[in-house]
Amino acid sequence: MPSPTAQRPPFALDERCKGRLLARLEQAAKRSRAGAAGTLASLTVELGGAVDPSAVVFASRGESEPWFCFEQPDRGGRALGTLGEALDLPAAGERRFSDLASRWRELTGRAVGEQADGSHAAGAVAVGGFSFAPDGGGSPHWRGFGPARLLVPEVSLARADGRTTMTLAAFVQPDDDPTQLLERLAARAEALRQEPLPLLDPAPAGRFEVISAMPPEHYEQAVARATELIRAGRMEKIVLSREVQVHAPRPYDPAAVFGVLRAEFPSCFVVCAGRGQDALIAASPELLLRREGQRVSTVALAASMRRSADPAVDAHLGEQLLRDPSYREEHAIVAGRIERTLRPYAVWVAAAPEPGLARIANIQHLATPIRAQLAEPIDALELAGIMHPTPAVGGEPLAAAAPLIPALEGLDRGWYLGPLGWTDAAGDGEFCVTLRCALLSGAVARCYAGGGIVRESVPEKELAETEVKLQALLPLLSG
């Protein structure tokens, strides 16, 4: 329950807003009765004061309802937070991206609400993600996530460029009473609270146990086998991952973990997708795509090196990353594939001539920004399906690498390395790649990390690289 000292920004609807929302709910009910199908109705209002969407979500969420937070603090403080569900859109299989894109277009085509105005996630949105594999997420610990799941939230709060909006939404069925729906949404807005995110206990009592789901030697053996296949000409690259579990003495608080990640990784996408008692939380440096009208932005992010507190050593490590032939090969495979993937859909595709360094708290990567101008409208969900998985998380060629990944890894990736993000009624949206992540289930945290394997990869070095990547979350989760 929210604390008695919680601050309450002006979330409650005034009479004018209630009247506008009721009119839209009534219009949606008429459309539903005429077409024998549900209709989405929404109202977006401006919020005054300093609103932290994620803080509102964590302070106001119910025990069993889904929630979603998506931030990139260094990008103008942009943030999206959502609560509840007006509609659940699951999908599975090879066509899960296109199926959800089609259903979302149909839903927004007959919706009653504001037209998308180019603001970050303002208006009705769908939020969620996709598993890495077409039918991934079948393991019990991925319950509630599945191969693909988008939610149209009941409440969403979006912040960008000094402006914060709140959108209330309902999926109106033919026999729904608009007045009752209004009362429910107004009560939900009235109950919203904002309070500071809780602090992570700096000295927790009890015993933490850190266990590799598979022995570290298994990962080294998988890398060795992959390099044999690459040298035999089966493929150019394959990404292999491992899972490390942390068993804590008490259940994790996703809000406290989210708060630390937001403070320590402000250049990353700091995200949390909650399903009841489970929460997928990440600080991901990798943008899969951002669609703004006909413009598409992405980044090739591949090849990694640790960082150092000594500036001279840190600079040397970065220079080593930039010049090492193996790292350059790994990165070039990813950048080249992304460009070739976008080119058939674009008027032009432009990439930086040379990779630069993307530095975050504990690791640095080779990064090449890539932009494109679409030749025809393609919405964010379809673009995600076209681009996923890049060689940064799958392999090259994918057809050769894909069946080998689960055989060599021995794990269900679930939503790890899948797209996670949002889209709006105009088809704009933003999806990151879900890496540097952990799946929190009560007192168990499953952390994931991997690396790109090429011809010259050394098993011991690849294992060490996963250990560096795991340090983004393991120190927070293991006491």
What is the C-alpha to C-alpha distance for residues 109 and 113, in angstroms, rounded to an integer?
11
Sign of CA dihedral 445, 361, 467, 332: positive
Rounded to an integer, the average pLDDT of 157-166 is 91
pLDDT tens, 352-365?
999 999 998 888 99
Task: Report the chain's terminal Cα–Cα distance, integer Å.
Answer: 25
Q: Report the pLDDT value the prediction gives residue 76, as an integer from 0 to 100.
A: 87
98/50: higher pLDDT: 98
CB-CB contact of 45 with 166 (8 Å): yes
Distance between CA atoms of 76 and 421, rounded to whole angstroms?
A: 18
- CB 453, CB 240: distance < 8 Å: yes
Helices then strands, each counted (H, E), the chain: 13, 22
- Which H or E run contains 433? strand 429-433
- Collapsing DSSP states into helix, strand and coil, what is residue 347? strand
- What's the mean per-residue pLDDT of the chain? 93
pLDDT classification of 148: cutoffs 50, 70, 90: very high
With beta carbons less than 8 A apart as the criterion, state whether 363 and 469 touch: yes
- Using one digit for the tens of pLDDT, what is the confidence trace for 430-455? 999 999 999 999 999 999 999 999 99
158 near 122, Cβ under 8 Å? yes
**Percent residues over pLDDT 70 in the chain:** 96
- Structural domain spans, the chain: 15-191
Catalytic residue among 71, 195, 237, 396: 237
pLDDT at 118 over 90: no
Q: Tell me the CB-side half-sphere exposure of residue 379, using CA atoms within 13 A.
A: 19
Confidence of residue 116 (pLDDT cuts 50, 70, 90): low
Three-state secondary structure call for residue 440: strand
Type and span of the H or E element at 329: helix 325-342
Distance between CA 475 and CA 407 in Å, rounded? 30
**How sure is the predictor about 142, in pLDDT bands with cuts at 50, 70 and 90?**
very high
Omega within 30 of 0 (cis) for the link into 389: yes
Neighbouring residues of 413: CB distance < 8 A, sequence distance ≥ 6: 131, 132, 133, 136, 241, 405, 448
Q: Which residues, in sequence order, are CB contacts of 362 under 8 Å at separation 6+?
A: 306, 307, 468, 471, 472
Instruction: Enter the DSSP assignment of 198.
Output: P
Q: 395 forms bridges with which residues in the sheet?
A: 238
- Does position 3 have pLDDT exceeding 80, yes or no? no
Burial label, 74 (beta-carbon count in 10 A; 0-12, 13-18, 19+): exposed
Q: How far is CA 317 from CA 369, 459, 472, in A?
A: 21, 20, 18
Active-site annotation holder among 26, 114, 286, 329: 286
For residue 184 the two structure tokens come to: 């429910």
- Report residue 1 as tokens: 């329950």
**Amino acid 121: pLDDT:** 64
Tell me, what's the pLDDT at 114?
80
Question: Given this model, what pLDDT does residue 9 score?
Answer: 56
44 forms beta bridges with: 167
Structure tokens at 53: 């969407």
- To the query of whether residue 264 is one of the catalytic residues in this protein, the response is no
Asked if residue 203 has pLDDT above 70, the reply is yes
Q: Quickly tell me which residue has 């609560």 as its tokens.
A: 83
The predicted pLDDT at position 1 comes to 45
Q: What is the mean pLDDT of residues 255-284?
A: 95
Distance of alpha carbon 375 from its chain centroid, rounded? 27
Winning range, highest mean pLDDT, from 8-17, 93-102, 327-336 = 93-102
Which two structure tokens, joined as six digits, stand for 153?
A: 């939230």
Share of the chain above pLDDT 90, in %: 85
pLDDT band at 103 (very low <50, low <70, confident <90, very high): very high
Q: Which pLDDT tens digit goes with each residue over 8-49?
A: 557 999 999 999 999 999 999 999 999 878 999 999 999 987
Residues 6+ apart with CB under 8 A from 258: 54, 58, 69, 197, 270, 272, 281
At 384 the pLDDT is: 97
| 77, 85 Cβ separation under 8 angstroms | no
pLDDT recorded at residue 164? 92
- Predicted confidence at residue 35, as pLDDT, reads 84
pTM greater than 0.95: no
Element (H, E) at 289: strand 287-292
Active site residue 195: no
CA distance 479 to 246: 10
374-417 tens-digit pLDDT: 999 999 999 999 999 999 999 999 999 999 999 999 999 999 99
pLDDT at 310: 93
Amino acid at 427: G
